[in-house]
Structure 1
């Protein structure tokens, strides 16, 4: 499995709008086992995204899907930046297959 944990910043006052756009893009993502979008309770502009994929190629392919591309285009103006992106190798957990 392939995992990502990332911290994204929204423009001030735009976090909930950005969360909504990120959630829209998580419908049918082949190979995606888990996609969690979370608000940072200590920072009003920060969003944490935790993803688990069957493999890195599935994640990469998801970025080319028309719905994902449209969501990225709509989100781009309200994204202030990316602070952290960590790749992980998930080995299992609630709702995930064992690696």
Structure 2
């Protein structure tokens, strides 16, 4: 199934590396956080290898507040990814990083399809400060 570079990055969240800036979520500045929730299917037998790529280097993404990769217990090939960014601009900027581009190239052959993709507006939660 063909997919574009942006969709890949959005769903894999390779660009999202948790808590790159300690305490960054606790800012008093009012702004809208940006979030993504997506489901992808790995090629048969490639889920664990794909997950390893998604989790590699998760400490180098400015503006990423949360990044979660999860196995779907009902589907041996499915992966769920959720991410929270301090802003949509931070997420966009992450797409230009050499490490993200390299991860895309490495992971692309392991992806069978993208099943779901949802952009959300997080307002708070454990580890996040309400911004509105």
- TM-score scaled by length of structure 2: 0.73
Q: Which residue of 2 aligns with 1:2?
A: 34
Alignment of 1:48-59 (within 5 A): 48-59=80-91
Structure with the largest fraction of strand: 1
Deviation of the 1:81 alpha carbon: 1.2
SS of the counterpart of 1:41? coil
Task: Tell me the matched-pair count.
Answer: 99
The equivalent position to 1:17 in structure 2, one of 37, 45, 49, is 49
Match of 1:32 among 64, 67, 71: 64
Higher relative CO (CA 8 A, sep ≥ 6), structure 1 or 2?
1
1:47 partnered with 2:79: yes
Q: Which consecutive residues of structure 1, in runs of 5 or more, have no partner in the other structure? A: none
More displaced, 56-65 or 46-55? 56-65
Partner Cα separation in structure 2 for residue 27 and residue 12 of structure 1? 29
Distance, in Å, in 1 between the alignment partners of 2:40 and 2:90 is 21
TM-score (normalizing by structure 1)? 0.96
Partner of 1:64: 96
Which structure 2 residue ranges, 5 or more long, are not aligned?
1-32
Determine if the alignment matches structure 1 residue 98 to structure 2 residue 130. Answer: yes
Larger radius of gyration: 2
Question: What is residue 20 of structure 2 aligned with on the other side?
Answer: none
Q: Deviations over 1:1-32 (max 9, x none)?
A: 00000001100000000000000142210100
Q: CA RMSD in A?
A: 0.8
TM superposition outliers: structure 1 runs of 4+ over 4 Å: none
1:2 touches 1:89 (CA, 8 Å); kept in 2? yes
